[in-house]
Chains A and B, each alone.
Chain A
């Protein structure tokens, strides 16, 4: 098990979450969350909004679900014991309310938030969160915040109103409440950088399995903290709140779909189509039927983490990558089960950032490994191409042929001219073949016959190659038959080869192509271990990795070479 990697990813996650919690909880004791009351407001007989609640108004404790359905106008009241702290003047309050509101602190009006209205036309929406510096506490020993509010522009029927008042030192509310988002911003930035690196690495290359899914997951991972941070960092008018919640839900569902889909693709886990549809349906149903956005998101993410873990357990190989991912997923499941609300408010996208960052790096490493593999293949091909050319102009054959040519020039110029033509054709064919990864059998045979023609002219005896093949288009790495012919000529001698023609038989047996070349056996020892054989084996290994066999040996008066290729052709 890749312990080091598992510990590394968990350490990064723990560090990020610990940093988040450290800044979040630093001032938790100085923040006072008040409990409040609510009551519907009555329009005055003049048809205008009231400026204070009537004395006989019936206050009831705030019920967030009931309040979510109120459109307005309505009264909210929060009371707290007056502060006895010396820095009383430095206190501020933060009001979270999805509506326009008019605030009264100990009976004195404060700066409003939008314009409260009897109808939607009259109302001007306020911000979803506002912060106000508080005047000094009341000498009566009790402070009261009275709010007249209306929520006519609330378009979506939300499950909870989430109306909340928190009182704390001004410096806490104005500055430090945004600090946790600095951690989120760092995580998002790291994820964006990893994403850019991955995009740059992918540029101009063929797509790796699941590359697009991973990029989509990455986009979700970046978008989540951006949408989450919109409220605390920038704020917005309350009608946007429903849209933001739906956007967050959509992102959570998208992440829940993408993560298992990517892992299945990346690790080649075959998923029955029905199971995939059932999973997607379960996600959609959870997103539609469950009561609150938090519950919907939590269930979608839980399903996603469980499905992804199951996929990783079913996958095979690449333990170095799978186990660290599994460790992160298990950490996510545990966090989600024990503290779903706290997890979704921040650590979730930190987990997503670490997870997607790790996946990106793994994917990038895979791309780099593929690059190196391709470079090695290119190098191999270049080396084989060079070998083919070198073998085509090997000194012994070429110099002997040139010496023959000298003699023909002096003694039989017409034959010399023909030999020059054959040599030119041979070099042309070699040049053409060496620039390609594979050639049809017909071209390879032409190269062999041309070579035999040259040898035959030097020997003044015809050299023949008999072929029994139905398909002359069978692709072969260039030079493999040529090398066998050369081997036979070198080891058995041209005279023996002239007396016993070359015979090639090509046959297909299901997925196997078998090429059997017979030639004169000759008497030279140590045959079959030289550069020709090494070239043939290297060419077959490059063109048909793990799908080739090459054998050769004496068979009576013949030397028999056999190539067996497994291919879809």
Chain B
């Protein structure tokens, strides 16, 4: 696993590199850069699985990079002195927020989360970044009806019928999406806010009817979880 550290303070950068290397051991390799431009170059040239990002870099707002980062395939952990921006960072879909100054243990927790994304089933994101020709656009998750796996990508179906493509896989997204999004099929995550009814047919066949009139298949393995999430059990 390759993780990029973006931090402008040399001593803090040194601390992040040292502690991350000690904590991750051979599970990950770390690179560190001091500014957003270099970070952008690195992210374009190399494949990274995670990003440790400071929000204020030499007067520049790290949220610019954060919006791009959360739209990418890698996950992002914010390491920042701006504790008041933690909620905003989570809403943008970051995996964790480590406030400065940080202990070895706290950094270790965030790193574990980054190294083992699959273990974490829900986050606190309110938006998802979507790549567009003009840059990154933010999509409000409340407007997403369902998300379908599309190879290494995910297809987002919006309430108005539009579809958007996201760089993260369905498993990757599960770690940052709020609990409203529940797996109903091995290829689908559904937003419970838009579910109208759960139907059962002959031969233990189940499907969901959505508020807009659309339908989604329900896998047998996910029926029990879905009934629990809908408070039917």
Contacts and interface: CB of A to CB of B under 8 A. Distances in A.
Interface residues of A, number: 29
Nearest to B12: A403
Contact of A493 (B11, B59, B81, B101): B59
Nearest to B81: A399
A541 to B, nearest CB: 26
A403 B103 CA distance: 9
A215 B187 CA distance: 92
B99 A399 contact: yes
Interface residues of B, number: 22
B81 A404 contact: no
A530 B83 CA distance: 19
Interface in A473-504: 490-496
A202 B36 CA distance: 63
A460 B11 contact: yes
Interface string B46-83: 00000000001111100000000000000000000111
B227 interface: no
A395 interface: yes
Interface stretch (A149-157, A286-294, A405-413): A405-413
Contacts of B15: 403-404, 406-407, 410
A460 to B, nearest CB: 6
Contact of B8 (A403, A405, A495): A495
A493 B102 CA distance: 22
B9 interface: yes
A396 B58 contact: no
Contacts of B84: 395
Interface in B99-121: 99-102
B197 interface: no
A190 interface: no
B86 to A, nearest CB: 12
Contacts of A408: 11
A165 B84 CA distance: 95
B81 A395 contact: yes
A459 interface: yes
B10 interface: yes
A403 B100 contact: yes
A398 B82 CA distance: 10
A407 B12 CA distance: 7
Contacts of B18: 407, 411
Contact of B9 (A404, A522, A523): A404
Contacts of A55: none
Given A399-B99, A407-B12, A493-B8, A524 B60 contact: yes
B196 interface: no
A264 interface: no
B9 A400 contact: yes
B14 interface: yes
B11 A495 contact: no
Interface string B1-43: 0000000111110110010000000000000001000000000
A398 B9 CA distance: 12
A354 interface: no
A494 B58 contact: yes
B34 A495 contact: yes
Nearest to A412: B11
B83 A522 contact: no
B11 A403 contact: yes
B100 A402 contact: yes
B58 A395 contact: no
A458 interface: yes
A396 B34 contact: no
Given A395-B83, A399-B101, A493 B14 contact: no
Nearest to B57: A493
A495 B99 CA distance: 23
A460 B14 CA distance: 12
Contacts of B12: 400, 403-404, 407
A458 B56 contact: no
Contact of B58 (A398, A402, A460, A524): A524
B10 A490 contact: no
B2 to A, nearest CB: 23
B59 A522 contact: yes
A495 B58 contact: yes
A459 B10 contact: yes
Given A395-B81, A400-B100, A495-B34, A407 B11 contact: yes
Contacts of A404: 9, 11-12, 15
Contacts of A403: 9, 11-12, 15, 81, 100-102
Interface string B187-210: 000000000000000000000000
A306 to B, nearest CB: 69
Contacts of A405: 101
B81 A398 contact: yes
A524 B59 contact: yes
Contacts of B81: 395-400, 403
A411 B15 CA distance: 9
Please indicate which of the listed interface residues A410, A411, A460, A493 has the most CB atoms of chain B within 10 Å of its own CB. A493
B100 A492 contact: no
A422 B82 CA distance: 23
A493 B56 CA distance: 10
A396 B18 CA distance: 22
Contacts of A492: 58-59
Given A404-B11, A407-B15, A496 B100 contact: no
B11 A458 contact: yes
Interface string B149-172: 000000000000000000000000
Nearest to B11: A404
Contacts of A395: 81-84
A496 B58 contact: yes
B42 to A, nearest CB: 18
A524 B100 CA distance: 23
A496 B12 CA distance: 18
B66 to A, nearest CB: 16
B45 to A, nearest CB: 22
B200 to A, nearest CB: 54
A39 to B, nearest CB: 107
A407 B20 CA distance: 13
A493 B58 contact: yes
A494 B8 CA distance: 9
Given A395-B81, A400-B12, 8 more contacts: A395-B83, A399-B83, A403-B11, A403-B12, A404-B15, A458-B9, A459-B10, A460-B10
15 contacts: A397-B81, A398-B81, A399-B100, A399-B101, A400-B12, A403-B11, A403-B12, A403-B15, A405-B101, A406-B15, A407-B15, A407-B18, A460-B11, A494-B8, A524-B59
10 A-B pairs closest in CB distance: A493-B58, A399-B81, A524-B59, A407-B15, A404-B11, A403-B101, A491-B59, A399-B100, A402-B101, A403-B100
Interface of B: 8-12, 14-15, 18, 34, 56-60, 81-84, 99-102
